[in-house]
Amino acid sequence: MERQRLRLDQLHAHWSAPSGHIVIAHHDGEYAAELHERFAERGYAVHLARSGDQARFLARRFRAATAVLDSEMPFESGWLTADKMRRDNPSVTIILVTPVPTFEDRQLAEFIHASAVVDRLDGPEAVAAQLDELEWADCVGRS
C-alpha cells in the first residue's frame, strides 16, 4: 500500500510540474541530456524524444507548453515536426536548434510559426535564455 501511495505521489508531481511540460527532441543524446538537466532544474517536467513522431506524441499526451527540436533530426526534420506540432497545438512554444542559423532558417521558422531559432554551438544556455525571453514577452503581452 505504501509503495502504491509513493507511485501516486510521484505521478502527481510529474503531472503538476510548476513550470509545465517541455518536450526535447535532438539526435545528439549528450546535448539532449544537457537540455534535460537544465530544464528539470528549473522545475519543468521534461520528456525526451528520439524522433519527430515521438515528440509530437509526447507533446499531445502531456499537453506540453514548449518543444525544443533539432532542425536536423533523422527521418523527420525538426522543421517538419514543428509544422505538424503547430497544427496540433497552435499555442505551443517551439524552439528550433540548428547549427549556425542562416537568414533562410529564420524565414522558414517564421513561415511555420516557430517561436525561435537557436544556434546549437551556443549551447543549452542559449536555449534556456531564449525560452526566458519568450516567456517574458508572453507575460508582458498579457498585461
Grid coordinates of 107: 524565414
- Residue 75 sits at φ, ψ, to 5 deg, of 75, -50
Grid coordinates of 76: 523527420
Chain centroid to CA 64: how far? 8
pTM across the whole model: 0.82
- Distances in whole angstroms, Cα of residue 82 to Cα of each of 39, 88, 138: 20, 10, 19
- The CATH architecture annotation of domain 2-142 reads 3-Layer(aba) Sandwich (3.40)
Give the list of residues 6+ apart from residue 81 with CB closer than 8 angstroms, or none.
25, 52, 55, 56, 67, 69, 73
Rounded CA-CA distance 86/108 in Å is 14
Q: What is the pLDDT of residue 58?
A: 95
Sequence ranges of the domains in the chain: 2-142
**Taking all residues of the chain, what is their mean pLDDT, rounded to a whole number?**
84
Rounded CA-CA distance 133/85 in Å is 21
Write out pLDDT tens, residues 63-81.
999 999 999 888 889 999 9
Write out pLDDT tens, residues 75-115.
889 999 999 999 988 989 999 999 988 999 999 999 998 99
